[in-house]
């Protein structure tokens, strides 16, 4: 793509690297727009599924994949040498934290180094992975230059943070405004052209650092407000006040208030992780982000609070956690999706197991636990069948995710004790003392 091009032509080839919850919707968007779209992933199961016209993400139907395949627009491969065929390469790979809550850029670095031998003049390379300000310059630009390309002339480098919300019926990939920053003005022009081809609105900003910090601000805003309401929940519980009623009442104010809701902890690929990318980078500049770190401490402590409330509830019935049968409803981190990344339910499973409980989970969207980076000991564990017999057999049922598929009336009829972390049982007729909020 040259400096003067302001839009993509139909013969441009778009490559998307990393075919997960961010990459696959983006790949399909370009295919639907008529571009030849090539997906890259190190997991051979993903290209194999797409080649067969099948999806592996619940909220993306098989029909979307099959249609793109039938039209000849979509391919997927593990062969990174085919990056040379692409006019644009969009990197959508994980950026987790290590055991010290510091950024782990190993996936980003490995991906760039795998692609670098296949870069060619005229390409646009975009990083979408959430990260700290300066990553694009420090990790991507330096490697592009080391490969012998002049950024802004030979090859265009941009940063455009992903804003996917898996399972959100109102916002799919292309109707969410797309923030784009470029290393040079020519890079920014190329990035606007790349994303303007499929997104309804593109929001250009002055630099990659601005775009990088924009994504962190969005998720820090949520993390801090969720931390606040989680702390208020604990205080309200001690005072005998229903925090959910308080939030409903506060939400009637037509200005100056936005509702956030408590839960058993934070999950997903963004909110539990992204704030720590900024706290880590801020230390380089002598800044201690105490507010952000406090919110993270509160949110990480919520599973322990739920476990403590469950212990209290069982004790009130003369039962110990050790030896009790405890069923967790919901392994996915949010309602009605199959995404279990960073789910606080794993912390609950670990905590109850450590205390000697016979713990299981039920999730209609996650029939079996797949491989995860941090909870490999649960891999292969199957979801307990939903049945009246299984519900009655539990000493306690903990609602950790409020899936619409749960039959709450049957749950209320069958369960002896329900610990509700999501206010799911509000409006359901229950017996006195049957439901404990946590």
Which residues participate in catalysis according to the annotation? 270
Do 18 and 40 form a contact (C-beta atoms < 8 A)?
A: yes
Do 369 and 300 form a contact (C-beta atoms < 8 A)?
A: no
Query: How far apart (Å, rounded) are the C-alpha atoms in residues 96 and 372?
Result: 12
Query: Looking at the DSSP assignment, which residues form a beta bridge with residue 36?
Result: 13
Do 166 and 337 form a contact (C-beta atoms < 8 A)?
A: yes
Contacts 24+ apart (CB under 8 A), 280-284: 280/101, 280/102, 280/103, 280/132, 281/132, 281/133, 281/134
- Which positions ≥6 away from 170 have C-beta within 8 Å? none
User: Dihedrals φ, ψ of 417, to 5°?
Assistant: -140, 130
3-state secondary structure of 361: strand
For the stretch 102-125, what's the b/e string if a residue is b when 16 or more beta carbons lie within 10 angstroms of its beta carbon? ebbbebbeebbeebbebbeeebbb
Query: How far apart (Å, rounded) are the C-alpha atoms in residues 25 and 54?
Result: 13
Query: How far apart (Å, rounded) are the C-alpha atoms in residues 48 and 407?
Result: 36
**Helix and strand tally (H, E) in the chain?**
15, 13
């Amino acid at each position: 793509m040259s400096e003067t091009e302001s839009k993509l032509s139909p013969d441009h080839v778009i490559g998307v690297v990393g075919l997960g919850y961010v990459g696959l919707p983006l790949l399909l968007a370009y295919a639907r727009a008529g571009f030849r779209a090539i997906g890259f992933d190190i997991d051979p199961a993903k290209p194999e599924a797409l080649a067969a016209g099948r999806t592996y993400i619940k909220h993306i139907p098989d029909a979307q994949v099959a249609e793109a395949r039938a039209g000849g627009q979509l391919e997927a491969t593990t062969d990174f040498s085919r990056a040379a065929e692409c006019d644009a390469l969009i990197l959508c790979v994980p950026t987790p934290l290590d055991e010290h809550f510091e950024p782990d850029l190993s996936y980003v670095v490995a991906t760039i180094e795998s692609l670098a031998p296949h870069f060619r003049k005229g390409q646009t390379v975009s990083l979408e992975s959430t990260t700290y300000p300066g990553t694009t310059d420090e990790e991507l630009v330096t490697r592009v230059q080391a490969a012998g390309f002049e950024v802004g002339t030979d090859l265009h480098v941009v940063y455009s943070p992903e804003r996917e919300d898996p399972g959100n019926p109102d916002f799919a990939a292309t109707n969410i405004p797309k923030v784009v920053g470029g290393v040079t003005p020519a890079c920014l022009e190329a990035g606007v052209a790349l994303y303007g081809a499929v997104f309804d609105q593109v929001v250009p900003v002055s630099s990659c650092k601005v775009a990088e910090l924009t994504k962190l601000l969005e998720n820090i805003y949520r993390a801090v407000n969720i931390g606040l309401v989680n702390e208020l929940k604990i205080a309200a519980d001690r005072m005998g006040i229903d925090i959910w009623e308080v939030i409903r009442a506060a939400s009637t104010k037509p200005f100056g208030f936005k509702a956030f809701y408590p839960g058993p902890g934070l999950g997903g690929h963004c909110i539990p992780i992204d704030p720590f990318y900024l706290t880590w980078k801020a230390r380089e500049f002598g800044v201690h982000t105490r507010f952000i770190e406090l919110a993270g401490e509160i949110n990480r402590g919520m599973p322990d609070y739920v476990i403590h409330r469950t212990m209290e509830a069982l004790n009130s019935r003369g039962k110990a956690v050790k030896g009790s049968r405890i069923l967790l409803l919901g392994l996915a981190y949010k309602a009605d999706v199959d995404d279990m990344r960073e789910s606080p339910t794993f912390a609950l499973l670990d905590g109850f197991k450590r205390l000697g409980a016979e713990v299981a989970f039920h999730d209609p969207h996650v029939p079996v636990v797949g491989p995860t980076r941090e909870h490999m000991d649960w891999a292969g564990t199957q979801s307990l069948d939903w049945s009246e017999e299984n519900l009655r057999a539990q000493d306690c049922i903990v609602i950790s995710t409020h899936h619409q598929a749960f039959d709450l009336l049957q749950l209320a009829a069958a369960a002896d004790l329900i610990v509700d972390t999501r206010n799911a049982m509000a409006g359901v007729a229950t017996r006195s003392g049957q439901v404990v909020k946590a």
